[in-house]
Structure 1
Amino acid sequence: MTTPIDYVHGYSAHESRRLGDQADTLAALLHSGTAYPAGSKVLEAGCGVGAQTLHLVARSPGARFTAVDVSAESLAQARAHVSTHAPAAQVTWQQADLFELPFPDGEFDHVFVCFVLEHLAHPRKALAALRRVLRPGGSLTVIEGDHGSTFFHPDSAFAHAAVDCLVRLQSTAGGDALIGRRLHPLVTAAGYEQVVVRPRTVSTDRSRPALVNGFTRSTFIAMIESVRQDALAAGLTTPADWDRGIDDLRRAAADDGTFHYTFFKAVAVNPAEPGPLG
């Protein structure tokens, strides 16, 4: 068993709440079109604290889920979260390394991955490892963001620089905060077929106060704020420039501000006659 990935946002209680806010706010946007038949076996790879698990089981109450994560602490939180809010859900929890999954070939009918590949140094190999445990003809769903898609009003070079600090920190940790734009070639290179990638865009302004609070403030800005100390320690910014950038980001959540971000959702099929794993 490998140790947990170098998750740039950390494993704090604050981060767990942020992940929950993100999942709840974006559930309709990200999970629309994702539902699994009763009795089907679904693997959620990298379930974290169960923020997405709760929405998966709500949309597919008859499916049988196996939720996997490398972190025992995150799994414990996920189990408690789902058992509290969806006690009838059919979920088996398993601590496992994504690259060394302890399941037979073709064990699952469907695989779901959300906000995981961005943290991995070898996302294509992870997709290939998932393909091994997916039955021929089974489906893969992957959702990732792309911090390079961020734009807002009023515009600010300081705010963009703060966002770039997170992008650079994640790259240093072996991940890719711009991975959304790469989903189609990544999934295709891992051997999947019928690959379709579509954007899921969040656009917030004063006419959508729930999104302004749930996404712009509680999800995105909170995510950037969480890396302040790391950005300063790495010499990527100064305290004054950082604080200016965060203040300017908050202006995008004010009454005269707007904020825009794009997620990418890929759906693909494991070939009926699988070739070599990518």
Structure 2
Amino acid sequence: MGTDYVHGYTPAETRRLADQAGTLADLLHGGTTYPAGSRVLEAGCGVGAQTVQLVTRSPGIELVSVDVSEESLAQAKARVAVHAPEATVDWRHADLHDLRDEKFDHVFVCFVLEHLVDPGKALVGLRDLLKPGGTITVIEGDHGSAIYHPRSTQAQAAVDCLVDLQAEAGGDSLIGRRLQPLLEQAGYDDVHVEPRTVYADETLPELVDGFTRKTFIAMVESVRERSIAAGRRTEAEWDAGIRDLEKTAEPGGTFHYTFFKGVGRT
């Protein structure tokens, strides 16, 4: 079901995911809580950055967290043990198709569809795992929504490398803009999608550091070697693009990005 994880399974990427989850916790998880006793599936838990938010915001849920990477699952277990030691999570090393005989009250999917070759098929499969009246919550970004100052063609070329490489790997880093039709076409009812916007400038230093630097720029930097090896940018061009992107996190710089959060029912 999946595709090549374009950011790589590296310590730097693990730190980036943790920084992202912590910085954007209220923005992304606001409005999402599940009643105690609910059986919840976290589809694609990765290193557990979002798992911590789920178990702390909805204590008492029966959470099943699934991922195809054994290494990521090990990190997720360790993260939850430190940050939510009271939580009980049923960890599964599995593809989503392996859960076909199970049923859940709710499904939570965050930053997963963008990496799938066929996200629509994945959503249909997840719908089949939901009990009648169950809900799915999906959160995705859209790199095309990045608006920043000062504007730079070199910086934009670096961002475009990430978008293009993810597309070549079978994913879609612009998927946020099509979340509503994907959910509708997968057969969900009462679909509602809303933007969750993050904006950072020097008056918001926590967002500048946590999002602009440690989330977005770090994400772009994760494809440096791939971009250069593929001949998309020379080393000098890449470094110039990152330098220009870093100016958006300096005094006088600004950065804007939109996530999309969708909810549907069965």
Partner-residue secondary structure (3-state), 1:201: strand
- Looking at structure 1, the residues matched to 239 and 79 of structure 2 have their Cα atoms a distance apart, in angstroms, of 34
2: distance between equivalents of 1:234 and 1:249? 21
Mapped contact 1:180–1:264 kept (Cα < 8 A):
yes
* Residue matched to 1:239: 235
Aligned to 1:101: 98
Deviations 1:184-232 (A, max 9, x none): 0111111101000000001000111000000000010011011111001
Give per-residue Cα distances to partners, 1:14-68, cap 9 Å, x unaligned: 1111100000000010000000001000000000000000011110011110000
Who is 2:133 aligned against?
Answer: 137
**SS in structure 1 at match of 2:59:** coil
The Cα RMSD (Å) is: 1.0
Which residue, 27, 34, 37 being the options, matches 1:36? 34
Given that residues 42 and 112 in structure 1 are in contact (C-alpha distance below 8 angstroms), is that contact kept between their aligned partners in structure 2?
Answer: yes
AA aligned opposite 1:49: V
Counterpart of 1:159 in structure 2: which amino acid? A
Structure 2 match to 1:162: 158
3-state SS of 1:79 partner:
helix
Aligned to 1:59: 57
Partners of 1:5 and 1:82 lie apart in 2 by 26
2:172 is equivalent to residue 172 of structure 1: no
Identify the residue that residue 110 of structure 1 maps to in structure 2: 106
Structure 1 unaligned spans of 5+: 271-278
Asked whether the equivalents of residues 99 and 129 of structure 2 are also in contact (C-alpha less than 8 Å), the reply is no
Q: Which runs of 5+ in 2 are unaligned?
A: none
* Cα distance, 1:90 vs structure 2: 2.3
CA contact (8 A) 1:212 1:253 kept: yes
**Superimposed CA distance per residue, residues 165-201 of structure 1 (whole angstroms, 9 cap, x where no aligned partner):** 0000000100000000010011111110100000000
Residue 9 of structure 1 corresponds to which residue in structure 2?
Answer: 7
Does structure 1 residue 184 correspond to structure 2 residue 180? yes
Contact 1:101 1:129 survives alignment (8 Å): no
Match of 1:91 in 2: 89
- Partners of 2:98 and 2:123 lie apart in 1 by 12
* Structure 2 counterpart of 1:204, from 196, 200, 204: 200
The list of structure 1 runs, each at least 4 consecutive aligned residues, that deviate by more than 4 angstroms after superposition, is none
What is the match of residue 276 of structure 1?
none
1:102 Cα deviation after fit:
2.5
1:267 to 2:243 alignment: no
In structure 1, distance between residues paired with 2:167 and 2:120: 16
1:103 to partner: Cα distance: 4.4
TM-score where L is the length of structure 1? 0.94
Match of 2:43 in 1: 45
Distance 2:191 2:8 in 1: 32
Q: Percent sequence identity over matched residues?
A: 64
Letter in 1 for 2:155: A
Aligned counterpart, 2:75: 77
Q: Tell me the TM-score normalized by structure 2.
A: 0.98
